[in-house]
Chains A and B, each alone.
Chain A
Amino acid sequence: MKRYVCTICAYVYDSEMGDPDNGVEAGTSFEDIPEEWVCPVCGAGKDAFEEE
């Protein structure tokens, strides 16, 4: 599974874990996360993420 890193705060989005606290179920690929989702640590937008 690909992992994506926030270029602002280094938070890693792992699709196996998802981000259930913010409505993203485990197993959701990064591409399928809604565009309005933001980094749960620093609040940066999805476009601030890069593939690890």
Chain B
Amino acid sequence: MAAVKISDNIYWVGAVDFEIREFHGYETPHGTTYNAYLILDEKITLIDTVKSSFSDVLLKNISEIIDPSKIDYVISNHVEPDHSGSLMEILAIAPNASLYTTPLGEKGLRAYYHQDWNFKIVKTNDTINTGQYTFEVIQTPMVHWPDNMMVYLKEKEMLFSNDAFGQHYASNERHDYEVGESLVLERAKDYYANIVLPYGAQVLKAFKDLDGKNLSLICPSHGLVLKTTINTILAKYSDWANNKVNDNEAVIVYDTMWGATKGMAHEIAKDFESKGIHTQVYYLKETHISEVMGALMEAKYICVGSSTLNKQMLPNVAAFLTYMKGLAPKNRTGLAFGSYGWGGESIKYVNETLESCKFEMMDPIKKIYMT
């Protein structure tokens, strides 16, 4: 996809990855984009880069606007390789460019690339002046890595938020209003559930730092640029960061050997439905754990079922529980269930893991062979 002008002197010059389906364990059914932004000012400035396999696309897109060797400043908001992956190519072409990053950003970039680039270290309240434009630095540690920062382009009220407010969504559209709010929201929720969820307190801290700043555009590092959905997305982030859940939503997730635990899952679903609680059921042999995370983002009830295999829970259930525990959803009520022939240890282990997630627990349901 070619470069896209998103405002006077500001261009999207990133790459669209329609093909990617696996993103460090997170399934991305709609692909993603790696967003980099070029700012034309007295100092030509590039904000973030793209995954290294797309370096040629980034260079082609920059070249449509300006000779890449003229880049004066590179702002690296985040060291993760999907954003820093083309720094080697860019800084080989523009070797004198200043590279703006946080203290931990420098540490991370040195560890990844072993280069003695022209690092300029910035912290919250610092500004980067490019001529007519001023970028205010806001460090956002653990949204979602320790090094993360955002920059706010004051004169245009544009926030370059890096991974915050991102969505894994590949498309030939670059703006939220071209695809519609429900799609943006669905992708943003799935992204939050799988990337940002453990860091609600840090999101709220970032909100405090953004307080009082008008936002006319949010330019994240994945997915669509936000304009018409800004208020909706900010309100949702606030809800998610405060761990607001819906009391009338339940998610049931299970794996099964011969169908008995599946039968239990659907019996439990009927029970929830009879009480007016909307229920979603997921079978872990058919649904990826990251899709389940998106589904349970706002659900009060999380019910996990497993047959017992060799005195353990089934491996798919263990994988799901490990993944969910790390993402740390809060304010939930949990239920462990499962069928067994003898022993029935899986139910105890599922129950213990849900308890260790600090869920309020219902009594486990354990049944001998139910078909």
Partner-B contacts on A (CB < 8 A): 8-10, 21, 41-42
Whether the Cβ atoms of A9 and B358 lie closer than 8 Å is no
Q: Among A9, A10, A21, A41, which residue has the most Cβ atoms of chain B within 10 A?
A: A9
- Number of B residues near A (Cβ < 8 Å) is 9
At the interface, yes or no: B141 with Cβ under 8 Å from chain A? yes
Q: Whose C-beta in chain A lies nearest to the C-beta of B141?
A: A10
The count of A-to-B residue pairs whose CB atoms sit within 8 angstroms is: 18
At the interface, yes or no: B95 with Cβ under 8 Å from chain A? no
At the interface, yes or no: B327 with Cβ under 8 Å from chain A? no
Q: Whose C-beta in chain A lies nearest to the C-beta of B147?
A: A8
Partner-A contacts on B (CB < 8 A): 104, 139, 141-142, 146, 199, 201-202, 358
Q: Which residues of chain B have C-beta atoms less than 8 A from A9's C-beta?
A: 141-142, 146, 202
Q: Which residues of chain A have C-beta atoms less than 8 A from B142's C-beta?
A: 9-10, 41-42
The minimal Cβ–Cβ distance linking B182 to chain A, given in whole angstroms, is 33
The minimal Cβ–Cβ distance linking B140 to chain A, given in whole angstroms, is 10
The minimal Cβ–Cβ distance linking B207 to chain A, given in whole angstroms, is 15
What are 18 pairs between A and B in contact, CB < 8 Å?
Answer: A8-B104, A8-B141, A8-B146, A9-B141, A9-B142, A9-B146, A9-B202, A10-B139, A10-B141, A10-B142, A10-B202, A21-B358, A41-B142, A41-B199, A41-B201, A41-B202, A42-B142, A42-B146
Q: Whose C-beta in chain A lies nearest to the C-beta of B140?
A: A10
- The CA of A8 and the CA of B108, in the complex, are separated in Å by 12
Q: Which residues of chain A have C-beta atoms less than 8 A from B146's C-beta?
A: 8-9, 42
Q: Which residues of chain B have C-beta atoms less than 8 A from A42's C-beta?
A: 142, 146
Q: Among B104, B146, B199, B358, which residue has the most Cβ atoms of chain A within 10 A?
A: B146
Q: Whose C-beta in chain B lies nearest to the C-beta of A21?
A: B358
